[in-house]
Structure 1
């Protein structure tokens, strides 16, 4: 469990790997599946998959093959609001690590350089909306995303 705790708190691993470690840890603490899913911002089936992958392959079960080319990575804990209520897009805390397309990274950098926090949040919301919520145009067409109650953000500009 100490190894899982270390992995879950590490800044040197992708956020999705750290989240999987926390899911297994919370399960080991005896928390209920639905409570873990709500806390992690994932579906209950994802909780089951994380636990099964860990049972089968230990820490190696947390790794996934990465797709796509190099882009800037944005890690944020943010509330994203999106109607309609009762869907998986309900407003909730989400821990996201996403590679954003260059045009969104450029908008974020310009806002950062200008010291315009609201414009930075808007550019981040547009990028996360495109990549995470609308999956590059494959779903949730017309969905509007906004960043509210931003708790933490880390941006790797490299």
Structure 2
């Protein structure tokens, strides 16, 4: 199951204009350059400084699975920060985001209505203000539950309440998230 935070990161990665380095040597060189030295890179990855140096010169080429995953993740986090920032600003000011979620939606509504939670697959475009709220919350270090709550509020407003044209007072509960995908 993907999280909202992972999905936001993946959406921003879709804006990259150049491919992320693939080989361990190229990834290590990039990380050393970004962190301004082999020692900070070694501390970040949890390996010795000499190991980092060996990857940089090409003596070592095939890292263990754990190291390869950490290395790829750290490089991906730092890759093309300006492109990532422009894509984020565009989503938060002009274009918005598209949320596709398969989750259990329940409601708190007026008496006599069906409020039982049921599994739904919803794909809905959210306006820029919801993208800004999600990105701002993630930057503040919000938990996954808080990010899901913001996404639920956005889906509640745009999908269930149709931007205020129906179902006023309907509160949407977003639980048992099976899959969520956010795109720009």
Give the TM-score normalised by the residue count of structure 1.
0.50
Relative CO higher for 1 or 2, CA cutoff 8 Å, sep ≥ 6?
A: 2
The structure number with the bigger radius of gyration is: 2
Give the TM-score normalised by the residue count of structure 2.
0.43
